Structure 1
Amino acid sequence: MEQARIRESLERASDALARNPAKARSTAAPLTARLIDGLKLEVKGTGGETVHTDMPQMVGGEGSAPNPGWMMRASLAACTATVIAMRAARLGVRLTLLEVDAESDTDNRRLLGLDDAAASVLALRLRVRIGAHGASDDALREIAAWGDAHSPVACTLRMPPTISTEVEILPTG
């Protein structure tokens, strides 16, 4: 039942955007990261979504919440898994297992300004575990590859957009 609902929703969305491609483009509602205390932040969306971040004790945080790098990997894994599940539903493949691991390599000297290079992640790796009754290994590999190639978060990390930053100085009161 759930898979049919997902497939029908995807077909309706695809049909609507095929008829009116201009509607495919949009601007995401803003979200705001606000410093709470120390290195703890609260990130809120306009729809009431809320997440918290903190940094590890090694760099002055308390380790009370996931750090932003963890959240990036979580977004990558969740987005990729979601798109794989969407593709499977669209093809009528009922998944019995889907897990996506995301791991990264970093050099923390960069974060601390001890290296002139940018503080970016050095490498990201995904590992997909997928299973379904009645689907061949090749079919499952194709579904996973399609999901990986069409995940908006993975695509953004592979081909990063330009980031513009505006700084607004507020009066202290």
Structure 2
Amino acid sequence: MGTAEIAEAMTAARTYLAAHPDEAGYRDSAATAVVEDGLRIRVTGPDGATVVTDMVTGVGGGGSAPSPGWLFRAAYASCVATLIAMRAAEQGIELTGLEVDVDSESDDRGILGIAEEVPAGPASMRVTVRVGPGVMEAARDMVEWGLRHCPVDDAVRRAIPVELEIRTA
């Protein structure tokens, strides 16, 4: 989809949801993880979407696929890039060379249960955005808007309730 089509789709979605706010909230589709072999996990979703994860050999994985932590950073980076591209399209700006890097600092003592006071997840995260030439004036607005509206960024920054259900097979 080109810039004009993206902007048109966003306008149509906003118009519809403004008129039908009761249809804006919903439960997102589930991602179902199943152990394939050792620490190799296959995750499936709707419409046949599939992703495989594995851990590094140092913790018993096969190193055959990206780790869940890397996929989390990949989801964060792609979400931010998507929202920046949506904002650019809405403003009629043709983006060239948009790149988003997301990295984090972690302490493996948390994930391995060595030190209970050390968090299992990242201690900090960094988002680096590079935009192509000719859009620097509008870049800050697009990037800040993209971060504010990215669901993954929101989940990182805001404590969200997690409900746990344990069922027997």
Q: TM-score normalized by structure 1?
A: 0.93
Question: One-letter code of the match for 2:165?
Answer: E
Q: How many angstroms apart in 2 are the aligned matches of 1:141 and 1:81?
A: 13
Q: Tell me what 1:152 maps to.
A: 151
Q: Tell me what 1:79 maps to.
A: 79
Q: Tell me what 2:124 maps to.
A: 123
CA RMSD of aligned residues (A): 1.2
Query: 1:52-98 CA distances to partner (integer Å, 9 max, x unpaired)?
Result: 00000110001100000001000000000000000000000000110
Question: One-letter code of the match for 1:32?
Answer: T
How far residue 132 of structure 1 moved from its aligned partner, in angstroms, is: 4.8
Q: Tell me what 1:16 maps to.
A: 16
Q: Tell me what 1:165 maps to.
A: 164
Q: How many angstroms apart in 2 are the aligned matches of 1:165 and 1:67?
A: 23
How many residues align structurally? 168
The structure with the greater share of residues assigned to strand is: 1
Q: Percent identity?
A: 42
Q: TM-score normalized by structure 2?
A: 0.95
Question: Secondary structure, in 3 states, of the residue corresponding to 1:58?
Answer: helix
Q: Tell me what 1:38 maps to.
A: 38
Question: One-letter code of the match for 2:157?
Answer: R
Query: 1:16-35 CA distances to partner (integer Å, 9 max, x unpaired)?
Result: 11111121111112120000
For structure 1, which runs of at least 5 residues remain unmatched after alignment?
Answer: none
Q: Tell me what 1:138 maps to.
A: 137
Question: Secondary structure, in 3 states, of the residue corresponding to 1:36?
Answer: strand
Question: One-letter code of the match for 1:63?
Answer: G
Q: Does residue 48 of the first structure (1) align with residue 48 of the second (2)?
A: yes
Q: Tell me what 2:91 maps to.
A: 91
How far residue 160 of structure 1 moved from its aligned partner, in angstroms, is: 2.8
Moved over 6 A (4+): none
Question: One-letter code of the match for 2:36?
Answer: I
For structure 2, which runs of at least 5 residues remain unmatched after alignment?
Answer: none
Q: How many angstroms apart in 2 are the aligned matches of 1:54 and 1:110?
A: 18
